[in-house]
């Protein structure tokens, strides 16, 4: 039998390695930014076209490379960061494997210009699919300028698996933020399709957080600092009242490297226990410093998963540090055992004798007894009241009361009884139940009523002519709202209601970019904007189906859905918006519905075009087989 094992060619091995290192354009951005930081750059500029599919360019003013180093950096496992295996346990740089540039060059067209500060001329290298096409001496500023063009041009299958430009841009922004947050002393800039997304000057950590996530973030931050022999914890946590339903503002950094750690995240949640609303998540920017020998970062190609030697100890330290900051800034309730002595009850009355009150009153006096003979327009002098000088209490004798009650009623020219005309008709009128409790759903035209029963405030059991059904009320309302929104957007003209006062909503740069992308579609649904600046949105009108208090919730859900690739399953952004609005505004599980509301919900559901599937392809109802129920009870 002949030998069947053979060595792979270098270009094939590089493409296989690229599958681990380069998953999407954001992976290239991460590697190039980290190389610039390791080179000691003080200013880094990222330029993108078509979400990085056409162009990814990173310009830095770092140390640059010599002609030999510029060529060697594209070879596999060529690195300046480590020399021997022991160096893996004492890493202080971003990259160290020497796979990034070789992997990028294997699946893209790369052009790099670089120059050392000690040299007058630099080097320009052009590589395509791991092959050096051209190399020459050129004039270029100190530092490195790397252009990655036509990503996955030689692997069409990988390119077809990339998401839309909006989704890929969001992933790039995520990587850009993670790198920028951990290096506030470096100036960063980002441009996409000739539009400036970020321009972050160098500064301190708090300024960097505020510049990325908006000016409103400044009032949300609580500083945290704790130094121990095992770990140093620094950074900020977000006040509980500003928590959100999405997990966007959650960042863990260890030794200036972004990581993902569900275990340490649980420690943050435990510290916030009892302070957050239901389904809300804490926000934090935590920076951990641990000894390099106590952490292993070489367990995943992206280096976002790490292993600690003392995870349980770190868990308790982080939890205690967060609790301490919450208590220090009065974010967490505490018991106060120090009492003000002026507020204490005097105990010298304990053995004091009981005294009868000395106030003298007439127990037989009834002020309402002679109400029918009272004349408010009587101008005769009133009986003189006797005053108890000792007690200061005014009393009236029985003789004076009888004289006062027996006076005849004197009517004046103005008929004061006319003031009470019509009061009886108003008082006897029964309240309109529809006005006091408006129906949650509008009645259908045929006003068909069905037998319904709500189960655990989640399902509706209904009996129709075609059988008995169990309906999920939240999913059913989603389908109803979804088709109504689509009809209003595409068929009918969207109606808006003007706001008496404009509403200012503050968002991060990334969220503002998303809202600008879908601004036209939002306006077609009924939203009206005065302006959308780099840090805020000014809303002047909203759809008639949305209340003013729901605006912020609707926008937050829209942004989250846009980030979570929901538009990938939608035919258009209008369809995505309709889905997001229906999910946000649909009645929640646990809402008690009246009989009329249940009936209207069932009638509206079965009037929809696709009543059996929700907008997110979930089953809305199931038909109950009566024969199976009979068999369950052993009935023939």
Strand partners, 504: 538
Clarify whether residues 459 and 573 are in a common domain: yes
Residue 308 inside a domain? The answer is: yes
Question: Domain check: are 165 and 228 in the same one?
Answer: no
| 311-328 and 262-271 helices, crossing angle to 10° | 30
CATH number of the domain encompassing residue 468 = 3.30.1370.100
Contact (Cβ atoms closer than 8 angstroms) between residue 544 and residue 513: no
594 lies in the same domain as 497: yes
Q: How many CA atoms lie within 13 A of 348 on its CB side?
A: 0
Distance of alpha carbon 105 from alpha carbon 84, whole angstroms: 26
Burial class from Cβ neighbours inside 10 Å (0-12, 13-18, 19+) for residue 479 reads buried
Question: Same domain for 176 and 83?
Answer: yes
According to DSSP, the residues that pair with 142 across neighbouring strands are none
The CATH number linked to 28 is: 3.30.565.10
Query: What pLDDT does 93 receive?
Result: 65
Which residues form the domain of 18?
A: 10-200
Measured from the Cβ of residue 246, the count of other Cβ atoms closer than 10 Å reads: 17
Tokens of 229: 């022999």
Q: How many helices (H) and strands (E) does the chain have?
A: 19, 24
Asked if residue 479 lies in contact with residue 605, where contact means CB atoms within 8 angstroms, the answer is: yes
Q: Residue 255 and residue 232: Cα distance in Å, rounded?
A: 10
Q: Residue 321 corresponds to which tokens in the numbers above?
A: 């540090």
**Domain boundary pick from 173, 200, 227:** 200
Name the 3-class secondary structure at 526. Answer: coil
Closest CA to 37 of 56, 65, 62, 64: 62
Are 389 and 323 within one domain?
A: no
194 and 210 together in one domain = no
439 lies in some domain: no
Nearest of 328, 315, 331, 295 to residue 233 by alpha carbon: 315
**Domain containing 226 — which CATH number?**
3.30.230.10
What pTM was computed for the model?
0.66
Confirm if 563 and 245 have CB atoms less than 8 A apart.
Answer: no
**Which of 246, 175, 145 minimizes the C-alpha distance to 24?**
175
Name the token pair of 49: 């076209």
Cα torsion 151, 153, 155, 156: sign = positive
Cα–Cα–Cα angle for 7, 8, 13, rounded to 5 degrees: 135
Alpha helices in 151-221 (DSSP H): 156-160, 165-181, 205-213
Q: Is residue 420 situated within a structural domain? A: no
Residue 444 lies in a domain: no
547 and 469 assigned to the same domain: yes
- Does 188 share its domain with 247? no
Q: Is 223 found in the same domain as 187?
A: no
Does residue 633 lie in a domain region?
no
What residues are paired with 137 via a beta bridge?
123
Do 251 and 282 meet the contact criterion of CB atoms below 8 Å apart? no
* Residue 17 shares a structural domain with residue 37: yes
- In this structure, are strands 109-115 and 122-128 parallel, antiparallel, or unpaired? antiparallel
HSE-up (13 A, CA, CB side) for residue 574: 16
Q: What is the CA radius of gyration of the chain?
A: 37
| Tokens at 170, concatenated | 């969001």
Residues (pLDDT < 70) of the chain are 1-2, 10-20, 77-98, 248, 297-303, 331-351, 357, 369-450, 491-494, 564-572, 636
Task: Compute the distance between CA of residue 636 and CA of residue 628 in angstroms, rounded to an integer.
Answer: 10
pLDDT tens track for 229-256: 888 999 999 998 888 877 768 899 998 8
227 and 249 part of one domain: yes
pLDDT attached to residue 298:
60
Encoded tokens for 399: 């003789």
Helix segments in 216-295, DSSP class H: 262-271
Q: Is residue 336 part of a domain?
A: no
In a domain, 558, yes or no: yes
Label each residue of 383-419 as H, E or C.
CCCEEECCCCEEECCHHHHHHHHCCCCCCCCCCHHHH
75 and 219 both lie in a single domain: no
Give the tokens for residue 535: 């840090």
Contact at 8 Å (CB) between 173 and 205?
no
Give domain status of residue 129, yes or no. Answer: yes
Which of these, 61, 46, 73, lies nearest to 132 by C-alpha position? 73
What does the DSSP 8-state code read for residue 281?
B
The domain total for the chain is 4
**C-beta separation of 536 from 581 below 8 A:** no
CA-closest candidate to residue 119, choices 67, 162, 56, 62: 67
Using CA atoms, how far apart are residues 220 and 243, in angstroms rounded to an integer?
A: 9
């Amino acid at each position: 039998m002949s030998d069947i094992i053979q060595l792979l060619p270098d270009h094939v091995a590089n493409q296989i390695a690229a599958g681990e290192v380069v998953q999407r354009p954001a992976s290239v951005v991460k590697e190039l930014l980290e190389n610039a930081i390791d080179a000691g750059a003080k200013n880094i500029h990222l330029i993108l076209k078509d979400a990085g599919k056409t162009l990814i360019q990173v310009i830095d003013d770092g140390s640059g490379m010599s002609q030999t180093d510029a060529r060697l950096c594209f070879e596999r496992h060529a690195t300046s960061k480590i020399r021997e295996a022991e160096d893996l346990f004492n890493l202080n740089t971003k990259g160290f494997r020497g796979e990034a540039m070789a992997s990028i060059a294997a699946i893209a067209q790369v052009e790099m210009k670089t120059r050392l500060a000690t040299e007058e001329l630099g080097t320009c290298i052009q590589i395509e699919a791991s092959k050096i096409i051209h190399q020459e001496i050129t004039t270029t500023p100190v530092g490195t300028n790397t252009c990655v063009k036509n990503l996955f041009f030689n692997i069409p299958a990988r390119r077809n698996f990339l998401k839309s430009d909006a989704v890929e841009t969001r992933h790039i922004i995520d990587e850009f933020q993670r790198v920028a947050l951990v290096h506030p002393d470096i100036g960063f800039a980002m441009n996409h399709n000739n539009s400036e997304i970020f321009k972050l000057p160098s500064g301190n950590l708090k300024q960097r957080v505020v510049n990325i996530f908006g000016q409103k973030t400044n009032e949300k931050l609580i500083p945290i600092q704790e130094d121990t022999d095992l770990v140093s914890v620094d950074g900020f946590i977000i006040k509980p009242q500003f928590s959100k339903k999405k997990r966007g503002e959650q960042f863990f950094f260890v030794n200036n490297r972004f990581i993902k750690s569900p275990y340490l995240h649980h420690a943050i949640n435990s510290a916030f226990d009892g302070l957050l609303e239901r389904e809300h998540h804490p926000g934090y920017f935590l920076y951990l410093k641990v000894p390099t020998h106590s952490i292993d970062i070489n367990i995943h190609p992206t280096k976002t998963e790490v292993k600690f030697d003392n995870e349980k100890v770190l868990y308790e330290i982080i939890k205690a540090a967060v609790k301490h900051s919450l208590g220090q800034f009065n974010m967490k309730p505490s018991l106060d055992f120090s009492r003000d002595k002026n507020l204490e009850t005097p105990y010298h009355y304990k053995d004091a004798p009981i005294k009868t009150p000395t106030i003298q009153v007439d127990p037989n006096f009834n002020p309402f007894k002679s109400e029918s003979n009272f004349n408010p327009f009587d101008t005769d002098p009133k009986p003189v009241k006797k005053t108890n000088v000792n007690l200061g209490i005014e009393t009236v004798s029985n003789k004076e009361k009888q004289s006062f009650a027996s006076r005849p009623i004197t009517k004046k020219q103005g008929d004061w009884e006319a003031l009470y005309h019509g009061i009886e008709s108003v008082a006897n009128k029964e309240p309109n139940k529809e006005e006091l409790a408006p129906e949650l759903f509008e009645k259908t035209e045929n006003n068909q009523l069905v037998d319904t029963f709500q189960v655990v405030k989640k399902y509706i059991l209904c009996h129709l002519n075609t059988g008995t059904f169990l309906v999920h009320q939240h999913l059913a309302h989603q389908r109803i709202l979804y088709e109504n929104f689509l009809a209003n957007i595409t068929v009918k003209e969207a109606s808006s209601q003007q706001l008496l006062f404009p509403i200012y909503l503050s968002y991060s740069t990334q969220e503002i970019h998303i809202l600008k992308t879908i601004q036209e579609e939002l306006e077609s649904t009924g939203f009206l904007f005065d302006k959308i600046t780099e840090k805020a949105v000014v809303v002047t009108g909203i759809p008639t189906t949305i209340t003013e208090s729901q605006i912020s919730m609707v926008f937050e859900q829209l942004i989250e859905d846009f980030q979570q690739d929901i538009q990938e399953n939608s035919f258009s952004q209008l369809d995505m918006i309709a889905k997001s609005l229906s999910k946000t505004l649909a009645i929640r599980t646990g809402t008690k519905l009246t009989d009329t509301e249940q009936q209207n919900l069932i009638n509206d559901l079965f009037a929809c075009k696709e009543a059996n599937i929700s907008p997110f392809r979930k089953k809305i109802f199931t038909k109950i087989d009566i024969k199976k129920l009979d068999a369950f009870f052993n009935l023939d």
